[in-house]
Chains A and B, each alone.
Chain A
Amino acid sequence: MARMKFICDAERCIECNGCVTACKSEHEVPWGVNRRRLVTVNDGLPGERSISVACMHCTDAPCMAVCPVDCFYKTEEGVVLHDKDLCIGCGYCFYACPFGAPQFPQAGAFGLRGKMDKCTFCAGGPEANNTEVEFKKYGRNRLAEGKLPACAEMCSTKALLAGDGNVIATIYKQRVATRKKGPEVWGWKMAYKEDGNIAAAEVKS
């Protein structure tokens, strides 16, 4: 069975936000909720690179681990989804997530957050596929229609790839081989130095 993954090719990403508005349009995501967004490093400087970030549908997802009501579940394709009827809006997942994926649209008094919302890999939620109720709570279910997430399908430079991890990894590897260089802004060497130590130089005080 395929395991669904996103990968964003920073050599291709031009920070056009096409993925962001594709997501907004496909799921009618309200103002203020950003299931997907762009992160840019070295903005305006040589070495400027951007990547598009959403829920990464982790293999061992921290959000699932910390959720006190077990509202998360993972589909057979490895997509991390959650049940808004169970969600109590505690925000633990927000603290646990390294990518800032969980969104809380209804900020209220006393830290009231409302139901969590996040990228579904265009796979809907626990309701019946492509029903009105599923759409209202989670957005469209493109996977059930045999389509891939709207953000990746519409990416202006095919930087954002979505699909079976093995397949997109092959495509990405092929690009790296053609370019003769790997990612320069993310990956093992960015997070750790050659010797395996955390790159202290990258962490600014």
Chain B
Amino acid sequence: MLLTKKSPSAPRSAGSSFASSLQGAIGTLDRRAFLRKSGLAAGAGAFAAALPPSMMKRAEASPPAPGAGSDVQVKRTVCTHCSVGCAIDAVVQNGVWVRQEPVFDSPINLGAHCAKGASVREHGHGEHRLKYPMKLVNGKYKRISWDEAITEIGDKLNKIRNDKAMGPDSVYWVGSSKHNNEQSYLMRKFVSLFGTNNCDHQARICHSTTVAGVANTWGYGAMTNSYNDMQNAKCAMYIGSNAAEAHPVSMLHMLHAKETGARMIVVDPRFTRTAAKADQYIRIRSGTDIPFLFGMLYHIFNNGWEDKQYLNDRVFGMEKVKEDVMKKWHPKAVEEACGVPEAEVYAAAEAMAKNRPSTIVWCMGQTQHTIGNAMVRASCILQLALGNIGVSGGGANIFRGHDNVQGATDVGPNPDSLPGYYGIAEGSWKHWARVWNVDYEWLKGRFASKAMMEKPGMTVSRWIDGVLEDADKMDQENTIKAIVYWGHAPNSQTRGLDMKKAMEKVDLMVIIDPYPTAASAMPDRQDGVYLLPAATQFECSGSCTASNRSIQWREKVIDPVFESRTDHAIMYQLAQKFGFADQLVGKRDGKQNIAVVNTKYGPEPVVEDILREINKGTWTIGYTGQSPERLKAHMRHMDAFDVKTLRCTKDVVDKETGYNMNGDYFGLPWPCYGNAALKHPGSPNLYDTSKHVMDGGGNFRANFGVEREGISLLAGDGSHSKGADISTGYPEFDHVLMKKLGWWSELNEEEQKACEGKNWKTDTTGAMMRVIMKNHGCHPFGNAKARAVVWNFPDGVPQHREPIYSPRPDLVAKYPTHKDEKVFWRLPTMFQSIQEKNKDISKDFPLVLTSGRLVEYEGGGDETRSNPWLAELQQENFIEINPKDAEARGIKNNQFVWVKSPTGAQIRVKSLVTERVASGTTFIPFHFAGWWQGKDLLNKYPEGAAPIVRGEAVNTATTYGYDRVTMMQETKTTLCQVAAA
């Protein structure tokens, strides 16, 4: 018998109901809205999450509920986990975040979410958050007031700063890629005003090698195309990226491309969930990306598949690479190094060459190595050889990690640069002092010396050595005495044993974070630790930059919960204590750049004003056109942008601002040159010569001079962005070049005065850009060749070098690592001496240990492991081990094992016996913390604020090893031994 409920008999709610009020707030769904929701209107039919016709009728028939729920609001925000940038509609009632609805209009995610994105509403519950300021007293965390906290922390840091035996460089500031652009920018300024360059953030240990390698190849250190543009690819090769777990929603675009015929190749030591979706999976030994990539190049050159015209016009030094590749990387050498037989390498090379445009994707699998800088350049070179850069469907699709790691890299707390990659030379400081409305001389006086002001600081990967190393071996006066963790997990950095020592040696630890993080529980200390509760990005507004350089504006969803305060408010309040609050907001001579408002949690700088200041100074990478007004208009009209091109191609006028976004690319992906009035549309695919510069086109950057060894570095004749007045290569623009070309007269008198002596990067009026781009269709940064060979890196042509802890002593002899460096980023840094010492270590530690992500967790995991909806899905840390290796050690599936490291550390995790890893390789996810070598640290956390799921951090067991250019840590290839527990 079927019992059927008849709809009419179902009692309708009386109108006071909560849901009918929601309907009023969200608006009814008409046919068009439904089509939009389904993704059909976006021109991607096969995407559709189907909607039954019967439901369309019902929705059309039901009028919006009367405004019964005027207290219900819908706030548009963006997921704070990975860099895809999935939009979220948060439904807020009486100040409480009650529901989360998908944003089908978003061209980036079309409403889709992974486990993390679908569960962000939990932030508003925040049961396991840090609820109020705390301080460690006799080994226990005690609640204190904000006033006490600011006073005590401020006094202690001031003491260190003003003490002759310590000084401003003795405080290390770890900033955050989870801060929005405005906060991370303000953080760089804050640290500068404190008087040091000792600051950093997650990008160091995420994509620093990419940023350095890619920028030095063709101009900008960023993903060249976009997730969306992957729909235009005919072949995609993922090497060192497990997108299905790390960037799940990116797979929406890739799987669509695959269904319409694109080939997909995955190269990885693990058969990942991404590999499960590939047409071809290639297993390489961890850390051997260069032999594989150059093995592909060997076949490309051998078969004449390279794009010769492109190489002639747009690439410098490929002959030298070719010579090296043909000499060193014949198929036998490739197989010996990375373990891949010739046929598989050939198949991958053929697929990439014969299905153009083809794209390459890489992530931490390439970056986190001692030769990460060379690996990413090998990937760039492959794409240059195939003529795939600057082409829709091609490109180097480098997936960044955190939601705003791109933005924090662009404008945030980097030890070697001021916002916008301006560097830290005198001219850079003067440029920013002018923008900040701060006196340069005063600023200089804040530092230990002018030399220290212009010397790159230490990196987050090495702050522990800044504490533990002898002061006389360092390139700064004194060691680090205080560490401020401002939105950064400690368990994401390697060498846990040394980190614990460093944490116990410093005078002061300050942790500013929504969660207490593992840093609160790791050290055995009795006092000298402060915890300050920061608000999440859902409790403030601001902009964030997705991996594809699109900038999205988040509306504030709810007020900061418990006693937490926004990061920029905390910065301002600490600055008040330090006495540089006025400088932080640019208040001088009757002018003030950034307004300050009073909130229930004290004074707070206005976010929009901070963005306007960023706009005023960040000309290098085009963060100048993205005014808050334009960004907000985009967020209100996401449906106006095409899913495949990201472009708005019709008149769409935002009611609130009157702004017409016709021609814009979604989120004005940087570079968006000139000021907002120039109306540059943003650049969807970098270096694309098929488009006019005012349509987002471009070419490679002239950043390395005009010639090298008698060969021109500028682009060849006839190679230029569409419609450019100069039809050959040209250098970057300054006032001299403009005068020579006779374009100077196109500036008005006032502009001429302002631009005198300036170049495209330092003209703060934007007038030079207007003339160069709008009047002449040229690119302000010049038009040059990409560099296959560089001269400012240790290896001009990328060279394979064995990991410091290598399982192959025979190959260490053949491909040794770099020589030790006496002083590198202020610290002595070892390469060869450690490799030599550990040449035969694989006898005792025969298994390669690599690490990576799980879809349910993010970063150090303090936030996601505190979210019950996610925590329930992964309750224990584990090690993946091949059945052969497990059997040899008497290990059964799902039992506790000890993972032993050459450092002497041992961690206790569950075994997962699986062929996902090859024999000889093991894998541990890196999101866990809260155990220390077998012991649960639960009672060391502040009461009630420990994460739900705790486990052993893989980085407790990781070893020494840093990239020779950027100080990236080696996490992907080290060694271990596993034994049953």
Query: A-side interface residues toward B, CB under 8 Å?
Result: 1-2, 4, 11-12, 14-22, 24-26, 31-32, 43-49, 60, 64, 70, 72-77, 81, 126-132, 135, 140-141, 143-148, 150, 152-158, 161-164, 166-168, 170-171, 174-175, 178-179
Contact = CB atoms under 8 A, between A and B. Distances in A.
B11 A128 contact: yes
B99 interface: yes
A26 B119 CA distance: 9
Contact of B12 (A128, A147, A168): A128
Given A45-B915, A157-B255, 17 more contacts: A14-B274, A16-B245, A17-B855, A22-B119, A25-B119, A44-B880, A45-B916, A146-B23, A153-B102, A154-B111, A155-B112, A156-B114, A156-B117, A156-B249, A163-B52, A164-B50, A164-B53
Q: Which of B100, B113, B856 has the most CB of A within 10 A?
A: B113
A25 B121 contact: yes
B709 interface: no
A167 B48 CA distance: 10
Interface in B1-47: 2-7, 10-13, 17-20, 22-23, 28-29, 37, 39, 45-47
Nearest to A143: B55
A2 B55 contact: yes
B6 A157 contact: no
Interface in B239-278: 244-245, 248-249, 251-252, 255, 259-260, 271, 273-274, 276-277
B13 A129 contact: yes
B62 interface: yes
Given A129-B12, A156-B113, A21 B869 contact: yes
B960 interface: no
Contacts of A145: 19, 22-23
Most B-side CB within 10 Å, residue of A16, A60, A131: A16
Given A15-B855, A24-B119, A171 B112 contact: no
A84 B59 CA distance: 28
30 contacts: A2-B52, A14-B248, A18-B115, A18-B248, A21-B116, A25-B869, A31-B872, A32-B872, A44-B914, A44-B916, A46-B271, A46-B281, A48-B273, A72-B3, A74-B2, A128-B13, A129-B12, A129-B13, A146-B59, A150-B118, A152-B49, A153-B37, A153-B102, A157-B112, A157-B248, A157-B249, A158-B48, A167-B51, A167-B53, A171-B50
Interface centre among B3, B18, B252, B260, by most chain A C-beta atoms within 10 angstroms, is B3
A153 to B, nearest CB: 5
B251 A156 contact: yes
Contacts of B7: 75-76
B868 interface: yes
Contact of B118 (A11, A127, A154, A166): A154
A164 B52 contact: yes
B870 interface: yes
Interface residues of B, number: 76
B118 A18 contact: yes
A46 B102 CA distance: 33
A146 B29 contact: yes
A157 B52 CA distance: 19
A14 B54 CA distance: 30
Interface of B: 2-7, 10-13, 17-20, 22-23, 28-29, 37, 39, 45-55, 58-59, 62, 99-100, 102, 104, 110-119, 121-122, 244-245, 248-249, 251-252, 255, 259-260, 271, 273-274, 276-277, 281, 855-856, 868-870, 872-873, 880, 914-916
A154 B113 contact: yes
Contacts of B112: 18, 154-158
Nearest to A1: B54
A16 B114 CA distance: 6
A47 B281 CA distance: 12
A15 B13 contact: no
Contacts of A1: 54
Contacts of B873: 17, 20-21
Contact of B259 (A164, A168, A179): A179
A136 to B, nearest CB: 12
Contact of B914 (A26, A43, A76): A43
B251 A157 contact: yes
Contacts of B46: 171, 174-175, 178
Contact of A24 (B55, B869, B915): B869
B49 A16 contact: no
B10 A146 contact: no
A100 B250 CA distance: 31
Contacts of B111: 153-154
Those 9 A-B pairs whose CB atoms lie nearest each other, nearest first: A164-B52, A130-B19, A44-B916, A146-B59, A17-B115, A21-B119, A22-B118, A48-B276, A73-B3
B49 A148 contact: yes
A201 to B, nearest CB: 20
A123 B398 CA distance: 41
A150 to B, nearest CB: 8
B113 A22 contact: yes
A162 B7 CA distance: 20
A131 B115 contact: no
B58 A146 contact: yes
B3 A154 contact: no
Given A46-B271, A146-B62, A163 B55 contact: yes
A14 B49 contact: no
A46 B278 CA distance: 10
Contacts of B116: 21
A168 B50 contact: yes
A134 to B, nearest CB: 9
A53 to B, nearest CB: 15
Given A1-B54, A16-B248, A168-B50, A141 B19 contact: yes
A74 B49 CA distance: 23
B119 A174 contact: no
B50 A14 contact: no
Contacts of A25: 100, 118-119, 121-122, 869
Nearest to A152: B49
B244 A64 contact: no
Greatest chain B CB density within 10 A among A24, A45, A75 is at A24
Contacts of B37: 153
A73 B4 contact: yes
A171 B354 CA distance: 31
Nearest to A77: B54
Contacts of A43: 914, 916
B47 A158 contact: yes
A156 B113 CA distance: 5
Given A129-B13, A158-B112, A178-B259, A15 B244 contact: yes
Contacts of B58: 146
Task: Please indicate which of the listed interface residues B23, B122, B872 has the most CB atoms of chain A within 10 Å of its own CB.
Answer: B872
B3 A64 contact: yes
A20 B115 contact: yes
A148 B51 contact: yes
Contact of B10 (A4, A128, A171): A128
Contacts of A146: 23, 28-29, 55, 58-59, 62
B119 A163 contact: no
Contacts of B12: 128-129
B9 to A, nearest CB: 10
Contacts of B872: 24, 31-32
Nearest to B104: A153
Contact of B113 (A14, A18, A168, A171): A18
B114 A17 contact: yes
A163 B248 CA distance: 23
B51 A163 contact: yes
Contacts of A178: 46, 259-260
Query: Which interface residue of A76, A126, A158, A178 has the most chain B CB atoms within 10 A?
Result: A158
A22 B117 CA distance: 9
B557 to A, nearest CB: 14
Interface centre among B11, B52, B252 (most CB of A within 10 A): B52
A76 B4 contact: yes
Contacts of A75: 4-5, 7
